[in-house]
Each structure stands twice: as C-alpha cells, then as structure tokens.
Structure 1
C-alpha cells in the first residue's frame, strides 16, 4: 500500500467528488433541511428525529463493525452511559449537556477499555458473543445502585421552563430536529475521515486477513481498541442529546439488547463499511417498526408487528446480503449500460 494512500485526508476536492458521486444523497439532505417547513405533523417529525439519532448510532457502530468487521452487541451500553451522564449532571449541578457530553465520552471510553481488553482477544462470533453480556451487566448495575441512578424507574427532568440552546430546552420540535440532523451529518463526516485515514486502511487490512496484517507489523488489538473508543464516544454523545430530547432515562428501555440489535441491524442492512449505508438503514428500519407497531398492534397480542418486521429483515438479508445501499450501484450500472448501448446505436 503506497504511502500517499495512507496519508490521504479529506480535502475540498474530495468533498466535491463526493457531491458529484452522490447527487441523490445531496438532494435528500436538501429535502430534509426544509422538511419542517413542509410538514406540520408532529408525530411524523418525531419519527424523523428518531431516524436521525439511530442513523448516527448506526454510523458510530460502523466504525468498528464495518471497517474492522467486529460485530459488537454492546452499543446500548455507550448510548446509555451518555444518556445517564447528561441527565445526572443536569439534575445534580444543572450542568449543560454540551459540557456533560464530555463526561459521558470519558465514562464510555473507560467502559470500552474495560470490556475491550478481554473481548478483543477473541475473534469473529466469539467476540460478538462476549459483548452480549455487557448490556445485561450494565443494566443490572443501574438498577442496583438506585440511590444514584433511580433504579428500574430511572430519572426524569421534570418540567423545564427556561428555554435555551445551552440547556437544550426548546418550545418546538424543530430545534431538536436540526440538532439531530446536524449531529448525524457530523457522525458521517467522522466516519469518512476515519475510513480515509491510516487507521481506516489498517482496520480494513485486519478485516480482510488479520494474520497477514499482523505479519506486516500491524497490531490488530490496538487498532480495534482505537476504533472501539471512537465508536463509543460517538454513541455517548448521541445518548446525551437523545435523553434531553426524550426527557427521561429508563435502564430497561435504553440499556436493552433490543437497542443494540437495532443499531447493528441498521448498519448491516443498510451496508456495512459504507458511508451512507447506516443512514439508509435507519430510514427503512425505524419507520418500518413504527408502521408495524401502529397497524398490527392488535394482532397476536402485539407480536404480529415484530413477526412481520423480522420477516422483512430476513428477506432483505437474503436478497441483498451486502446491504441495501448496493442497489444504487446496480441502478448506476444499468443506466451506464443503457447509455453505452445508445451510444453504440448512434454510431
């Protein structure tokens, strides 16, 4: 691998090239920017805000899961740590979330180091199995230390009357809409930067053949730990922003396997290792869950919605195992073939 490739960084030309290659993505982003002024439905806006936050979580998961192919199911832990850091600092000393999110980042990174040290000695599915228990352990700790965390009931902000950006207290949902959108785009930018950095190239080398990468002097455990810390930090910040939008924190709702699975599925179904895959996955899975829960909540005790949701996921995995984002490549190839065929006929 050439040195010039390893030292490649984002530049103005790279951004212009990305814009030219992703006209649909740019058009969608412009539409999302004006969406609050086109739609007055509060429920629909809440769904889109949820999409933004889970897209950010999916992109964060993609740093480790997509680039290094280390499938972690401990994502809910870092998300929850950021949420608790935000609400606890606010309730105790009225600390702004813009400051408490750094406390959440530090706590999430420490937790990532603790679980990463033993887990990264394992490979493949064994690593994934080892991370499953982390969510349960953290949830039980949050429930047991109820004097600090509120136990199984959780914590809530109560009524907040002082509206300000500094405290993330707003009268309208539009403010949180743009905060969530901007944070999602920041997460995408972080992922692109990591992917094009030396760390990104080494992670992909480890993903393809860990033994061969080790023989070249690369230390896989160190690289995975760095990616894990970046991913955990992004999830912690998302958790802090999310809890200020939600208004309360509940260990059984946030620190749950369902959240970790949802985050992983968003990235996997959208397209692991791709820039816009998790965003596309979030725009499909989150509304799909909402539709299933709304229209099928009265069938089979509420389980019919989850059954249909699971069936659709299985179909997507079988039909597009490399992710739904690859459909864009298929469409692009067909258009290119048609253009070439027309050029031949014209000649």
Structure 2
C-alpha cells in the first residue's frame, strides 16, 4: 500500500492539496486494504483522510478492529456518540491536520456529507473537486494487483470448465447461473464479482440480461458472462455456447465475432488510444454488415471494480499504457433472435498484450 499512497501524495502535491477525503469504497480499499460491508449510497463503513504525513481511517466503533487488522499502516479514528457521522469525524481529523485546502471525490460523496464538511471546516477552508484523479491511480496495475487479478481470472476459467459441459436443453438459465456461483465458492472465491448472466435465445440480445427462468433450447446461443471475486479483485469472462448443433444464424454471427476478437487481440498495443483499439474489432463487425448491432464499447478496465479505466471505446482518446488490464469483448445483438459475445481479459505489455483468459472459445 505504501507505493499507492506515495502516488496519491504526488497527485496531492500536483493539486496543491493539504489533504484528501476518500469516500469511494473501491478507492478506500485500493489505498488502505480496508474491506467492509458497505450499503451504498448512504451506508458507508468508513472514509479515509490522508495528508503528506498521516493516513487515517474514519469508521464506526464496530469496524475499528477490522480496519486495524486490514490496514495496519493507518491510524483508526472511531466515531463517538457525541459526534456521530463520518463526515463530521472527517472534519475533526482534517482540523487536527491543519488542512485548509482539501480534495474530495465529487462523484462519490453524499451531498449531506459535503455540506457537513463545508460547514465544520469553515469559510477559511477550500474544498477541491478531484474528478477522476483518484480513480486514475488504479489504471496501471502493480505487480501484486496483476497477481490478484490472475487468481480471480483463473478461478473464473476453472468454474466455466466445470459447469459448461453440464449444460443441457430443458433446464433454466437460473439453474446454470447457480451452478457457476457454486463453483466459484468451491474453487475458493469469495463469491461472484457481479450477478452471473446466463442469457439464452432471444435474451442474449440484452448485454446485461438478468438471468431468469427461461428454458434453454438446443441449437440457440447461450451468452454466459461471469466473474469470480477474491481478495478484493474481480474476474470477468464471457463465452457464447450452445447445446447440440448450432443453428445456421448462430454459425454466421459467431464466426464474425470470433474474427473480431482475433483482430483486436492481434492489433492492440501500448500507445494506441482506446478508440483505435475499439476500431480493430468494430471494423470487422461493420464490414460484415452488423455495425449497428455492436452496441457497446470493445472493453473496459478491470481491477477492484468490474468496470474501471481505461476504456476501449470510440469515445476514449487517451493512450493505453503497459500495466493496463482490460477486457476485450466484441458482440453482436439482434432483437428477437439473440446475441453473441466473446470476452477475454488481457494486460497491456511493452509491445502488445498478454491474455490472462485460458477458457477455450468454441469454433463452428
């Protein structure tokens, strides 16, 4: 964690900040290691208050022991009955630091907490919105993060290998999804990184279909999007499978998406923008006549959150860097019929990519 705090403190110097208040639960874990039970948006287990000399977790008395065990390099400030509320206690810590120019996460703070900070710190203090400055620290992964992600992705691959051969026509999407989540636990994961998606037949036209009671049929596409969660890090994997022989339309669409992911993985390299990476796959799909049916970006960053920076998107004009970890997931979605998506996870290297994902892709 010391390396991460050092990079945060460098960012603070660049913004001429005396201190920062970290309210985003993912950034709290990233910077401190403190994992706790949060119920966003209005029930947080704790905030961080950090200056150049001190790093403090502000939390409730019921979490102080957990915080101390998980974040031994941090001071623990427990709320009292006399001064309830995280923001009020953030202000106490900030005042003890003598901080008057304070950065805050404007996309991850309750308005009532912002008002509390502004009131208790007084007119002499200035609150500075940080935008994505803290989130951006997570874009380039450290060696220990790469190791943590590799474990989450290995468990994800193993879970699919365990469950995919058991899928049969006549069972529900929910039955398959439940077996996948059971496999995560049996393989040592803390649970799923997100609700497992099993989208059969026409449900596959919805990229984020909520797994339901539809009965799986032979020959139709079954889009499975899944990821294990362990040690604070997320796996992510999508495969399109089928029972029996694939119908002709599935053969056609699957081959296009397969060519698209192959083109992207062969061409992505550091220095190209997210927009340029997206085009590698999007052009293949557009040339096949299905450009309007590729309705999302090619990929996103992966780490302590399932979706984080950088983005492989037509709107992302920043360059990719070695150490970025991204999903590569082209798809085609046809309402009333279904969809095909294939997803791998890769890290950007000095001269290309290194694909973590080992799950085989079907061929037709």
Fold-level similarity (TM above 0.5): no
Higher helix share: 1
- TM-score normalised per structure 2: 0.23
- TM-score normalised per structure 1: 0.24
Higher relative contact order (CA 8 A, sep 6+): 1
Q: Specify the structure having the higher radius of gyration (Cα).
A: 2
